[in-house]
Structure 1
Amino acid sequence: MHIPINQVSDVGNAILAVRKESGVRQDDAAGSAGVSHVFLRDLERGKETVQFGRVLRVLEELGIRMVLEIPSTAEARFLALSGKPSPNPSAGEDTERKDPM
């Protein structure tokens, strides 16, 4: 299921739903993710100031994958910044960089 994320409470509700459906107690899930039960409670309630790195740890622990959809116009710049090769170079495009001098 894909869920549009527009606010922290959207992430919190998804985490709560997955955790409850898995039958995992809040303190157990928090301990497994390396965060406090207070942090997880705040996250599940949609607290706006949660630390993003910790959110990612909770998501990973619960098996929730987060994907960002960026405009195609920013793809090349993102790949260059992240050091990742382009997955599908355009047909016929010269993929080697040439020294301008």
Structure 2
Amino acid sequence: MIKEIKSVKDLGVVVRTIRREQGLRQDDLGFMASCSHKFIIDVEKGKPTVQTGKLLTLLAELGVSITVDIPENLREAVEQALAGDE
């Protein structure tokens, strides 16, 4: 399922819902993703200043990935920039 996320709060709702559906407690997920219980709470509440790297690790533990929809006229530039980072 692809869902457009329009706010940090939306992402928090997604994380909380998936965690609950997987039968995980916040502290269990924190242990799995190597982050604190407070970090999980902050994500689920939609705190806008959470660390991106930790958030990506957390999402991966839940089986969620993030996709970016790049405007057509910018795709080549982004591809080149990403190829240069490898």
Same fold (TM over 0.5): yes
For 1:64 and 1:51, the matched residues in 2 are separated by 17
**Deviation beyond 2 Å, 4+ runs, structure 1:** none
Shift of 1:7: 1.1
For 2:65 and 2:39, the matched residues in 1 are separated by 20
Encode CA deviations 1:7-43: one digit per residue, 9 max, x unaligned: 1111110000000000011101011001100001010
* % identical aligned pairs: 37
Q: Which residue of 1 aligns with 2:73?
A: 73
Q: Which residue of 2 aligns with 1:88?
A: none
Shift of 1:2: 1.6
How many residues are matched? 84
Q: Which residue of 2 aligns with 1:46?
A: 46
Q: Which runs of 5+ in 2 are unaligned?
A: none
Shift of 1:74: 0.7
Which protein shows a greater Rg?
1
Q: If each structure's helix is expressed as a fraction of its own residues, which one has the higher value?
A: 2
Q: What RMSD over aligned residues (CA atoms) do the two structures have, in Å?
A: 1.1
Whichever residue aligns with residue 55 of structure 2, its letter is: V
Q: Which runs of 5+ in 1 are unaligned?
A: 85-101
Whichever residue aligns with residue 17 of structure 2, its letter is: A
Encode CA deviations 1:17-75: one digit per residue, 9 max, x unaligned: 00000001110101100110000101001011111111101000000111110101111
- With structure 2 as the length reference, what TM-score do the two structures score? 0.93
Shift of 1:82: 0.7
